[in-house]
Amino acid sequence: MTGEYSSFKVSNVIIILSDAQELRQINEELESLEKQIENLNERKMQLKRKKQCLQENIKAQTLALQSSTDQLDRQDHLWSKELSEKQSSVFGISDLRPLQLSTMNLTLSNKNCILVMPTGGGKSLCFQLPALLSKGVTLVISPLVSLMEDQLFALENLNISAAMLNASSTKEHVKFVHSEMTSTKSDLRLLYVTPEKLAKSKRFMSYLEKMYTQNRLARFAIDEVHCCSQWGHDFRPDYKFLGILKRQFPKAPILGLTATATSSVLNDVKKILQIPDCVILKASFNRANLFYEVRPKPSNAHALVEEIVDLIQTRFRDQSGIVYCLTQKDSEEMARQLQSHGLTAACYHAQMDAKHRSLAHRKWTTNKIQVVVATIAFGMGIDKPNVRFVIHHTISKSMENYYQESGRAGRDDQTAHCIVFRGFADLFRQSTMVFSEQTGQEKLYSMLDYVNDLSTCRRALIARHFGETWKSSDCQEKCDNCQRKTSVTSFNCYSFAKNLINILSKTSKIQRYTGLKLLDAWMAQKPCLQEKKLSRSQCEMIIMQLITNGYLKEDYHFTPYSTISYLIPG
Ligand SMILES: Nc1ncnc2c1ncn2[C@@H]1O[C@H](COP(=O)(O)OP(=O)(O)OP(=O)(O)O)[C@@H](O)[C@H]1O
C-alpha cells in the first residue's frame, strides 16, 4: 500500500512537473506573442503617422507648387534685371547653377523655401544675392562661428556690408550692430548670428522686432537647417527655438538650407519652423566633375604610404588635396610620412589647439602647403575651390559622410578625384565606434556596399543611396567601375558561407573569432581557396559582403579599454 501510494505520488509529481513545464512554455509563448502584438501595434501607429504626414506633405507641396510654379525660373520679375546685373558685377558669376534662380525668386517673392543642395553646390549665393536686392537686413542663422567667419571674410572681399554677433562679441561691437539694426540709414545687408544668440538674448529679439516693424527684416536664412530635427545626424537643441520666428515675424520669409536631409527630417523641420506651406527644392546630388574610385588597401602600412605618396607625386603633382584619416594618430602619422617624402603637408584634428588648426587651414587655403591630412574635424566651412583630390585612407562611417567629405573636391567645377581605400580591418575599427549609434551599423554597411561593388557605376550607387536615379550616361566613365574594361569575376558564395559558418561553429568561450582571425583561419584551409584561386583581398570582400548581407554578424564585447567585434553566424 505504502509502495503503491509512493509510486502514485511519484507519478503525480511527474504529471505536475510536466504540466508545470508545459504551462511555463505556454506562458512564454503567450508573452512573446503579446510582445509581437505590441510591436505590431506600435509599427501600425508609426505607419499611420507616416502616412498622414506624407499625405499632408503631398497636399502642401502641390498647393505650394501650384501657386509658385510660375515664379520659379521666371526672369521677368521686378528684381530680375538687378539680380542678373549684381550676380556678375558683385559676385563675378556668369551663369547660375540649377535651382539657384528658383530659390532666389521664391525668397524674393516672400515665400518660405527649403533648398537641399549638395556640399559646394552654391547655397550661400541664394541668400547673399537676394540680400543685396531687398530692403533692410537678411538675418543668417548659422551653427558655427568658423562658418560665419569664412562667409564674412568672403563678403568683405566683395565689398558687401555684413556683420556677425556671437557669444564672444565685444560690448562695443554688439552696440554697433544694434544701432545698425534699427537705423534706417544703415547699409548693413547681412547679419550672421548663432541660434544660441536668438534663443538666449531677449534684447536681440527686441531689436529684431524693431527691424520688423520698420519693414527692414528682409528674411531669415537658416543654414544647416537639418540641425532643427532630432531625426537628423546633427541635432542642435537651440535650433528648436527657431519655431518662434514664424510666430513673431510671420511676414518675414524663411529660407532653409541644407546638404543632407531625408524626407522625414524635412517634414520634421517644416513642423518645427511652422512653415507647412514651404516649397522644398532638391538639387541633384550628381557632381559631374568628380571621378570616383575605390582601391584595395594594402595590408602593409608602408605599402599604403608608398601608394598614396605616388598618387600625390604623379597624378596630383603640385595639386591641392585632402587625405582623410580615421583617428588623430593616423592623421599625424600620415602627415609625417608625406613630409618625409618631401611633400608639403600638415595635419588637422580636433585635439590640436585652435591656433595650430587655423594655421594649417590657412596655409592650405592659400596654397602654401599641398595637402591637409585630417580627421573629420576638418569639415564644415571649407570652401577651397581648387581641391583636386580627396583621398580616404579609411572608409567613412556612412555614405552621407563620404559624400560630404569627398564633395569638398572640385568646387570650381573642374575635374577632381575622390579615392577611397577599402580596408578589411577598417570595417571593424569603424563598427566598434559607430555600433552604439541608432543606425550606425546600418549606415556603415551601406558604405561597405559602395566600396565592395566592383561592377555598378559609382554614381548610380550614390544616386540610389540618396533616392535619385541617374542614367549611366550621367557618369560618362568618370568612375573606376564604368572605366573597367575587363569583366569582374563573380562567385556563388554559398559554399564559402558554409565554410565560414563551419569555422565559427567551433567558437568557444576561449576561442572567439574576430574578422581578421576568421580570415586567417579560412585562408589556412587552402584546398577550397586554391581551387577557386581567391586572393586575400577577394576573401576579405567575401567576408565583408557576408556581413553586410547578414549571413555573418558582428557581436560586440566590451573590455575596460576597448570594444571588440567578434563574428558569429548571422
Ligand atoms: N553659379 C555659380 N557659378 C560659379 N561658382 C559658384 C556659383 N554659385 C556658387 N559658386 C561658388 O561655389 C562655391 C561653393 O558655394 P557655397 O559655399 O555657397 O556652397 P554651399 O552649398 O554653401 O556648400 P556647403 O554645404 O559646404 O556650405 C563658392 O566658391 C561659390 O562662390
- Ligand 1 pocket test, pick from 93, 115, 152, 408 with the greatest ligand atom count within 8 Å of Cβ, gives 93
User: What's the 123 CA to ligand 1 centre distance in angstroms?
Assistant: 6
Cβ atoms of 123 and 203 closer than 8 Å: no
Is residue 463 one of the residues assigned to a domain? no
Whether 420 and 370 map to the same domain: the answer is yes
Q: Return the CATH number at 176.
A: 3.40.50.300
Whether 428 and 536 map to the same domain: the answer is no
Is residue 546 one of the residues assigned to a domain? yes
Whether 78 and 116 map to the same domain: the answer is yes
Residue ranges around ligand 1 (CB below 6 Å): 93, 95-97, 100, 117, 119-125, 259, 383, 385, 411
User: What's the 412 CA to ligand 1 centre distance in angstroms?
Assistant: 8
User: What's the 299 CA to ligand 1 centre distance in angstroms?
Assistant: 38
Whether 538 and 515 map to the same domain: the answer is yes
pLDDT score recorded for residue 526 = 66
Q: Give the number of domains in the chain.
A: 4
Cα–Cα distance measured from residue 80 to residue 100, given in angstroms and rounded to the nearest whole number: 13
Question: Which residue in 86, 123, 197, 270 is the catalytic one?
Answer: 123
Whether 32 and 87 map to the same domain: the answer is no
Domain boundary among 238, 261, 282: 282
pLDDT tens-digit map of 448-465: 999 999 999 999 999 888
Whether 271 and 376 map to the same domain: the answer is no
Nearest to 528 by CA among 539, 518, 517: 539
Whether 254 and 329 map to the same domain: the answer is no
ipTM reported for the complex, 2 dp: 0.97
Cα–Cα distance measured from residue 199 to residue 547, given in angstroms and rounded to the nearest whole number: 45
Is residue 462 one of the residues assigned to a domain? no
22-31 long-range CB contacts below 8 Å, 24 or more apart?
Answer: none
Whether 436 and 314 map to the same domain: the answer is yes
Name the H helices within 73-170. Answer: 80-89, 100-108, 125-133, 145-157
Percent of the chain with pLDDT over 70: 92
- Ligand 1 pocket test, pick from 125, 158, 225, 380 with the greatest ligand atom count within 8 Å of Cβ, gives 125
User: What's the 394 CA to ligand 1 centre distance in angstroms?
Assistant: 27
Q: What is the pTM of this model?
A: 0.72
What average pLDDT does range 65-91 have in this prediction? 82
Nearest to 410 by CA among 381, 393, 389, 382: 389
Name the H helices within 183-326. Answer: 195-200, 202-213, 244-248, 263-273, 301-310
Number of helices and strands (H, E) in the chain?
Answer: 22, 15
Q: Return the CATH number at 519.
A: 1.10.10.10
Is residue 26 one of the residues assigned to a domain? yes
User: What's the 302 CA to ligand 1 centre distance in angstroms?
Assistant: 38
Could you identify the atom of ligand 1 that is nearest to the CA of residue 125?
18
Atom 7 in ligand 1: residue holding the nearest Cα: 122
Could you identify the atom of ligand 1 that is nearest to the CA of residue 385?
29
Could you identify the atom of ligand 1 that is nearest to the CA of residue 121?
21
Is residue 459 one of the residues assigned to a domain? no
User: What's the 118 CA to ligand 1 centre distance in angstroms?
Assistant: 10
Q: Which three cell numbers stand for residue 390?
A: 580627396
Atom 8 in ligand 1: residue holding the nearest Cα: 122
Is residue 54 one of the residues assigned to a domain? yes
Domain boundary among 282, 314, 347: 282
Domain boundary among 60, 87, 106: 60
- Ligand 1 pocket test, pick from 124, 147, 289, 401 with the greatest ligand atom count within 8 Å of Cβ, gives 124
Q: Is the pLDDT of residue 66 over 70?
A: no
Whether 392 and 360 map to the same domain: the answer is yes
pLDDT tens-digit map of 230-283: 766 667 788 888 999 999 999 999 999 998 767 778 888 999 999 998 999 988
Whether 238 and 321 map to the same domain: the answer is no
Q: Is the pLDDT of residue 16 over 60?
A: yes
Atom 28 in ligand 1: residue holding the nearest Cα: 122
Q: Is the pLDDT of residue 417 over 50?
A: yes
Could you identify the atom of ligand 1 that is nearest to the CA of residue 124?
18
User: What's the 127 CA to ligand 1 centre distance in angstroms?
Assistant: 12
Whether 3 and 44 map to the same domain: the answer is yes
pLDDT score recorded for residue 1 = 46
Query: Is 123 annotated as catalytic?
Result: yes
Q: Which residue has the higher pLDDT, 173 or 494?
A: 173
Is residue 521 one of the residues assigned to a domain? yes
Region of 154 please: left (phi>0), alpha (psi -120 to 50) or beta: alpha
Cα 231-233-236 angle, rounded to 5 deg: 80
Residues of the domain holding 509: 494-569
Query: To which residue does cell 546630388 refer?
Result: 285
- Ligand 1 pocket test, pick from 119, 123, 260, 400 with the greatest ligand atom count within 8 Å of Cβ, gives 123
Whether 276 and 315 map to the same domain: the answer is no
Percent of the chain with pLDDT over 90: 53
Is residue 178 one of the residues assigned to a domain? yes
